[in-house]
Amino acid sequence: MAVRMHDMCSRDETITASRYSPKRSPRRRRTVALAATALMLVSAGILGSGAAPATAFVDAAAAPLPTAGAAGAAGAADRGGVVTAERLDVLSAAQVRAVLTAAGFDADPAILRSGVVSYRLVYRTIDPRGLATTASGLLALPATDTRRLHVVSYTHGTEIARADAPSTATDRAADGWGQAPALTYAAAGFAAAAPDYLGLGVGPGLHPWMDVPSEVTASLDLLRATRLFLATQGRTVDPRVLVTGFSQGASAATGLATALRSGADPALRLGALAPVSGAYDLRSVELPALLDGRVEWPYGVGYTAYLLVAFNRLHHLYDTPAEVFRDPSVEALFDGEHSGERFVAGLPASIDALLTPHGAELVRHPRGRFAAALAVADATCSTLPGPQPPPPPPVPVPVPVPVRLYVGGADTQVPRANSEHCRTALRGHGIDAPIVDLGAGVDHLGSNRAGTAAVVRWFLTPGGPR
């Protein structure tokens, strides 16, 4: 989950009201969970959707951004169409390394050799109900004359404030965290696509936190928008997408991998998967850790509250916040506008102070719509298609996709059992996914830094994922 409250705490502890990253886990999934996931992916338009048709590209920083209503008439057929593209910055390689160093990320000049040009793309996608809307995302490109680019999809961890999403976290002097991973991949020669998700950045509405289907559609449609945008520059993309993400974004990454592996877009396919510190098993690993105090304050309280608020918006878990929260005003903290400081100041001191008896019962023993929603969030590792039997000639034999799961040895926000359950689920599909320990002293937020450094090197390995 990875809430970054660094504004409220120190940068190293970060739960920052803007960095709240969820966790998703691949529990030992049952058939009903698989069916629920497949149904949601289909109904959300993830599986079985074709490539988005080209739409008018506008390179206009001042172009008015569309509302969800304006996009609604376009329908799902226009998914991935570019609405606006705004150039954000042009950085030399030295400037990129300076930003990364200030944010605590690796800045090895042997890896980060290129300058970076970054853009905010506003593009067409769909909301959790399948209705047309828009979303925004960061596209970071290497400042080179390379015409054909490999794309890295990076999905970020939890952000409480919409302004802390990758495409709007532009005050790098104050905090380079939001853009650091994308800058890393771009400076290493990749095109880095980092979706803000729905309701963050400059997208309309509220963010449906931990809703894997909408995270996947937002990620997939940004890849389509990236392809269209690069075409206006005379550049093309390699169809093999390298997928990674941190905390909340780790589950989004495994969900995107499933969509790509299942043929969601015939022009794209999964090249490699490298999620970092994901909460792949909310129900049987993450929720118990939140409730029994293993996830320290303010993270445990913050994640629990956010889960109830966000899932209620989509699945109607309660009628009024007073049913589940002792202080009903907690719900207002998740409006996308609270800074980290204000967010933490509004949190109760403990889980007991947060939840009413009914709220505690709901979280400890999920039933009905809540249980079904958790099953979907927890199924990302269980639904990734494994090796397929060789098709008859002349169709080429499918190539096994390399997968690695990255964890921090001192992560107290997302227990390692999440990744162990994911590995077990993937093995059930014939996928070998080793767990890479980033170090005994690496905590949750530190795993984003260490994981980015490790993953970019893996992606660059000669004869490796690419």
CA pair distance 376, 365, nearest whole angstrom: 16
Residue 62: the pLDDT is: 33
Residue found under tokens 């609604």? 72
Is pLDDT larger for residue 9 or for residue 409?
A: 409
More confident call, 297 vs 71: 297
Helices (H) and strands (E) counted in the chain, each on its own, are 14, 13
C-alpha–C-alpha distance, residues 259 and 240, integer Å: 13
State residue 26's pLDDT score.
36
Is residue 323 scored above 50 in pLDDT? yes
- Output DSSP code: residue 79: T
pLDDT of 90 over the 90 cut: yes
Q: Report the pLDDT value the prediction gives residue 236, as an integer from 0 to 100.
A: 97
| pLDDT tens by residue, 10-51 | 333 333 223 333 333 333 333 333 334 443 444 444 444 333
Query: What pLDDT is stored for residue 400 in this prediction?
Result: 74
| Percent of residues, the chain, with pLDDT higher than 90 | 76
pLDDT value at residue 392:
55
pLDDT at 459: 97
- CA distance linking residue 158 with residue 309, whole number of Å: 14
What pLDDT is recorded for position 76?
58
State the average pLDDT over residues 404-423.
97
pLDDT greater than 90 at residue 443: yes
The tokens 């109830």 sit on which residue? Answer: 308
One-letter amino acid of 99 = V
Q: Which residue has the higher pLDDT, 454 or 31?
A: 454
CB atoms within 10 A of CB 176: 20
- Picking from 318, 320, 326, the residue whose alpha carbon sits closest to that of residue 349 is 326
pLDDT tens track for 340-352: 889 999 999 999 9
pLDDT interval class at 172 (50, 70, 90): confident
DSSP letter for each residue of 255-319: HHHHHHHTTSSTT-EEEEEEEES--B-IIIIIHHHHHTT-S-TTHHHHHHHHHHHHHHHHH---S
Calculate mean pLDDT across residues 425-434.
94
Which residue type is seen at 350? S
Q: Model confidence over 213-240: pLDDT tens digits?
A: 999 999 999 999 999 999 999 999 999 9
Average pLDDT over residues 423-443: 96
Tens of pLDDT, residues 48-70: 433 333 333 333 333 333 333 34
pTM of the predicted protein model: 0.85
Structure confidence by residue, pLDDT tens digits, 184-223 = 999 999 999 999 999 999 999 999 999 999 999 999 999 9
How large a percentage of the chain has pLDDT more than 70? 80
Is the peptide bond between 394 and the residue preceding it cis, with omega within 30 degrees of 0? yes
Which tops the pLDDT comparison, 181 or 397? 181
Evaluate if residue 457 carries a pLDDT over 70: yes
- Is residue 336 predicted with pLDDT exceeding 70? yes
Contact 346, 309 (CB under 8 A): no
* Pick from 100-104, 290-294, 398-402: least confident: 398-402
How buried is residue 64: exposed, middle or buried, by Cβ count under 10 Å (0-12/13-18/19+)?
exposed
pLDDT digits (tens, 9 = 90+) for 265-308: 999 999 999 999 999 999 999 999 999 999 999 999 999 999 99
